[in-house]
Amino acid sequence: MEEAIAAFLRYLDRERNASPHTQRAYRQDLVQFTSHACTELGHAVRATEVDHLLVRSFLAGLHRQGLSKVSAARKLASLRAFFRYLCREGIVERNPARALLSPRVARRIPTHLSEADVAQIVDFPTERESDWRTRAILELLYGAGLRCGELVALDLDDLDTTARLVRVRGKGDKERIVPYGLRAQEAISAYLRWRATLRPQVEALLVNTRGGRLSDRSVRTLLRRRICSVAVVLKVTPHTLRHAFATHLLERGADLRAIQELLGHASLSTTQRYTHVNARHLLSVYGKSHPRA
């Protein structure tokens, strides 16, 4: 089983360009299942010995441990992908995880920020030069809809400040070009002047005060401090600003396909989950657009 898992992870890395985070998640899920299978069978398990009953008992064990339905569904998806690969390679004849139903997960509407909420978070007086870094971070998260990981991975040459475009490397190492606005340009320009005084030794766009690349955790800490300083009581994360980016574009008439491209989603159904349109807006669009409204 260990050799099969290693081959699958190489496939994810070399052929699917899966991110290190994705590979790590698959590895953890498969190792956990292998441990369960060995306990159930009483010996080192081979991939050909796994059947749907063994997978079902694994899921039942997760349920008894109190694991959330979301996490259980992800682990089942990992097993399906793993055995689908083994079937394609001729190692096993059938996928034992295919016939099992995923735990039903309630669709959760993400935290919705109004345009006024976002303005309250993003627009603040810059009392210190380092505040421009926070402004640039917030403007790019909301103004370009970036994931936190995509933001901290940006290098200086990913920015085209003349055209106000940023080259983003998303999931699966896929590149996309995203525009950003005048306010983001103002914040970025001011931040870059402060950045130059740090004389960083890296090409990273966002750096810490020691001149190293800013981490994902640091971005979340800066955002949390900003949220604590304003009267927004909602839980706000970098992804919340990405949700707001998509929702506000849609509310102002942007095409869903265009939003999909800007977000870097492979599936349109994923983009639909990132958008939150209130009923009043839907009624307004219906009233203006439907011939029998």
Task: Provide the annotated active-site residues.
Answer: 147, 171, 239, 242, 265, 274
CA proximity to 73, closest of 101, 47, 46: 101
Q: Using the 8-state DSSP alphabet, how is residue 102 labeled?
A: P
Q: Phi-psi category of 168—alpha, beta or left, where left has phi over 0 and alpha has psi -120 to 50?
A: beta
- How far is it, in rounded angstroms, from Cα 21 to Cα 147? 14
- How far is it, in rounded angstroms, from Cα 132 to Cα 134? 5
Q: 175 - beta bridge partners?
A: 169
CA proximity to 160, closest of 136, 139, 140, 179: 179
- How far is it, in rounded angstroms, from Cα 60 to Cα 255? 43
- Encode 73-105: b = buried (16+ Cβ within 10 Å), e = exposed: bbbbebbbbbbebbeeeebbeebbbeebeebee
Tokens 């958008």 belong to 275
Side-chain-side CA neighbours of 254 within 13 Å: the count stands at 19
- How far is it, in rounded angstroms, from Cα 151 to Cα 167? 10
CA proximity to 169, closest of 180, 181, 161, 157: 157
Which residues have C-beta within 8 Å of that of residue 124, sequence separation ≥ 6? 131, 135, 226, 229, 230
